[in-house]
Amino acid sequence: MERAEKVELVTTFSTAVKTAGAIVVAHNNGLTVNQVNDLRGKMAKAGATVKVVKNRLAMRALAGTDAEGISKLFKGPTMVAYGADPVAAPKVAADFAKANEKFVVLGGALGKTTLDASGVKALAELPSLDQLRGKLIGLIQAPATKIAGVLAAPAGQLARVFNAYATKS
């Protein structure tokens, strides 16, 4: 790899890390090409990205960012997963690690917070951003629905009384 390519790689990876909601670092020693492609496909569906970056270049890219604390995880054959949604990359990585014992989650970062492997697994168990938004909208709409039901109830009761008198005669 030429020096200019290395500089460009460090710059693009640093930019990606700065905009990422969460970053996951894992060992990928012994994964086949098909397994790596499967992981990349699952990450893409979730809106996340997986990259294999040289450790030295990854540490340079992390220098000066909020995720600088995970630099110590870059030892041996590592893979980095990141995405804008703070739950997407950890969720896919944790699920993939359950199915493939050669893929070992080492840790990660959530903003300035450095996570160990158990922290990444805990983050993976949280609902996604879209699920949280759906729950929040449901909670906001619930009072309006209940008010509409309460306001409609007397009119419905009145209609049933009129119907009872009409059928009685």
Distance CA 93, CA 80 (A): 10
- Token pair, residue 135, equals 């729950």
Cut 0.85: pTM above it = no
The tokens of 97 are what?
């690690």
- The DSSP element (H or E) to which 126 belongs, if any, is none
* pLDDT tens track, the chain, 169 positions: 788 888 888 888 888 888 888 899 999 888 899 999 999 999 999 889 999 988 898 888 888 888 888 889 899 899 999 988 888 889 999 999 998 888 999 999 988 888 888 888 888 888 777 777 888 888 787 777 777 776 677 777 777 777 888 887 6
Phi-psi region of 111 (alpha: psi -120 to 50; beta: other; left: phi over 0): left
Three-state DSSP string of 147-163: HHHHHHHHHHHHHHHHH
- Residue 71, classed as helix, strand or coil, is helix
